Structure 1
Amino acid sequence: MIRYLASLFLLVSAATGHAAETDLVVDTAERYVRQQTQGLPGKVQIKMGSLDVARLPPCTAHEAFSPAGARLSGKTHVGVRCLGPAIWSVLVPVHIAITGNYVTTGRPLAAGQTIAAGDLIVSTGDLSAMPAGILGDPQQAIGKTLRNSLGAGQPLRSDQLVAPLVIRQGQTVRVISAGPGFAVSSEGKAMNNATEGQIAQIRMGSGQTVSGVAKADGSVEISF
């Protein structure tokens, strides 16, 4: 009887230890997910999946990480590795739902069409089910043109948009050289097309070629 009770005690202790280890691994993964999704727009809901670490050696230090190619949204996994005394790692299943706003087309739009405010609708849903690069603000699309045609109700992605050119090759461009306490304006010929924020190369009247940042008003700014 004593031997039976001792064996039973060891089994219960082992099961309790494994349960505690499992909880610790899952908690480590959940804390990591909450930290990584803290700055995301919308409401984040996290549901951790089940895990069994009964066959793994005891661990005194855990570290969570994102597996290569994993996306912290939708149904995914978070890795947890043991730093000692044994070395092992596991993948913890997790479902991350992110409820927020996204932009869709309000009507069919043709490739090359310049997008206006009336072409777009703001919808609300699970962003984790949306493709990467989905837009959350119509202002990110207004004034840009479409690379390809879209039907009504289609989510709009940043890679489907082309920013309008503010500088065209061959045009005369105002070049502003600015530094601490001074700004000098001159003119030159654009050697390439550029959208706002892109680098434009300008050939000055002296024959010198300079590079600067294209501005929304069609000028180029060179900072010193």
Structure 2
Amino acid sequence: MLRLKVTSFNRHILMFLKTLRLLPLLLTFASGSYAEPSYQAHSSLYQVVSDFVQNNIDPASNYELTIAPLDTRLRLAKCSQPIEAFTSQPQGLSPDRNTVGIRCNGVQSWSVYTSVIVRIFDQVMVLSQPVQRGELLTPNHVRLEKKDISKVKTGYFISQEQVFNKQANRYLAAGTVLHNGLTMEPVLIKRGEKIVIRSGNPAFDIRMLGVAMMDGVKGQSISVKNASSGRIIAAKVEQTGFVSIHQR
């Protein structure tokens, strides 16, 4: 039988060999203790924002979303709870630019904000040629076209009937989206014009000659002078050359 004499050198060798056998276990423990932290993917945040916007606008709308990208250096801990999107805008989401928040209510809570542009498209009436101030709109002036109406603040027109015989209240270039803020009812009576004043009582019809003291559109109340008495009264514009007063 071979006997090994234990010396100080041999003891060191044996300890070294035991250390080598334990090395894989030590490395496994170290890699588990110092694992890289898990971060929330920015793509998942964009999806949450997109879902939030789609759930808070008219589903029948034809729209496009543009979400401002987050800073690529931003590192957010992976959320242990479902991520929520929200807005603090009093009017809620609206066409054009919006601020949307994203928050995590998990163990490591956080919140960030991003900007979302909502562009709404619709078939609307636009000018096919330029028109001058005061010019009456006709079928030759307009066409139906798909346009971004996100920044149109007043009611826009979607049919020819809404536009015809309206007057442009300023010079308008070709391609302009027509809306209430750009048009007005045509002036049917002009200041200084001779007019007929009619009684609005259905039981009898009284007509008097008069003079308009101001311009007027259909349905507008204007001041007129009775030609015989010289009295100035208020009357409602009915049509070109005619106004009416209501007798009680």
TM-score w.r.t. the length of structure 1 is: 0.55
* Superposition deviation, residue 147 in structure 1: 3.3
Cα distance between partner residues in 2 of 1:173 and 1:52: 60
Residues 1:162 and 1:52: Cα distance change in structure 2 (over 3 Å): closer
* Superposition deviation, residue 96 in structure 1: 6.7
Residues 1:166 and 1:112: Cα distance change in structure 2 (over 3 Å): closer
The 8 Å contact of residues 134 and 155 in structure 1, kept in 2 or not, is answered as yes
Q: Tell me which residue corresponds to 2:91.
A: 66
2:242 to 198, 219, 222: 219
Cα distance between partner residues in 2 of 1:129 and 1:181: 50
Residues 1:209 and 1:151: Cα distance change in structure 2 (over 3 Å): closer
Q: Which runs of 5+ in 2 are unaligned?
A: 1-51, 68-83, 101-114
Runs of 4+ in 1 over 6 A off after TM superposition: 93-97
Q: Tell me which residue corresponds to 1:139.
A: 161
The one-letter amino acid of 2:142's match is L
* Superposition deviation, residue 125 in structure 1: 4.0
Residues 1:143 and 1:180: Cα distance change in structure 2 (over 3 Å): closer
Cα distance between partner residues in 1 of 2:132 and 2:172: 7
The 8 Å contact of residues 62 and 122 in structure 2, kept in 1 or not, is answered as no
Matched, 1:44 2:73: no
Matched, 1:166 2:185: no
Q: Tell me which residue corresponds to 1:149.
A: 171
* Superposition deviation, residue 111 in structure 1: 3.7
The one-letter amino acid of 2:146's match is T
Cα distance between partner residues in 1 of 2:186 and 2:218: 8
Cα distance between partner residues in 2 of 1:95 and 1:180: 56
Aligned to 1:201, the other structure's residue is in SS state strand
Residues 1:76 and 1:147: Cα distance change in structure 2 (over 3 Å): same
Aligned to 1:179, the other structure's residue is in SS state coil
Aligned to 2:181, the other structure's residue is in SS state helix
Residues 1:152 and 1:169: Cα distance change in structure 2 (over 3 Å): closer
Structure 1 or 2, whichever has the larger Rg, is 2
* Superposition deviation, residue 194 in structure 1: 0.9
Q: Tell me which residue corresponds to 1:115.
A: 137
1:130-180 per-position Cα deviation (integer Å, ceiling 9, x unaligned):
443432233333233333333322212322224322112222211122236
Aligned residue runs from structure 1 range 17-56, under 5 A: 30=56, 43-44=60-61, 50-51=84-85
* Superposition deviation, residue 211 in structure 1: 0.6
* Superposition deviation, residue 129 in structure 1: 4.6
The one-letter amino acid of 1:219's match is F
Cα distance between partner residues in 1 of 2:159 and 2:136: 16
- CA RMSD between the two structures: 4.2
Residues 1:129 and 1:159: Cα distance change in structure 2 (over 3 Å): closer
TM-score w.r.t. the length of structure 2 is: 0.51
Q: Which runs of 5+ in 1 are unaligned?
A: 1-25, 38-42, 54-63, 79-92
Cα distance between partner residues in 2 of 1:128 and 1:44: 11
The 8 Å contact of residues 128 and 174 in structure 2, kept in 1 or not, is answered as yes
Count of residue pairs the alignment pairs up: 168
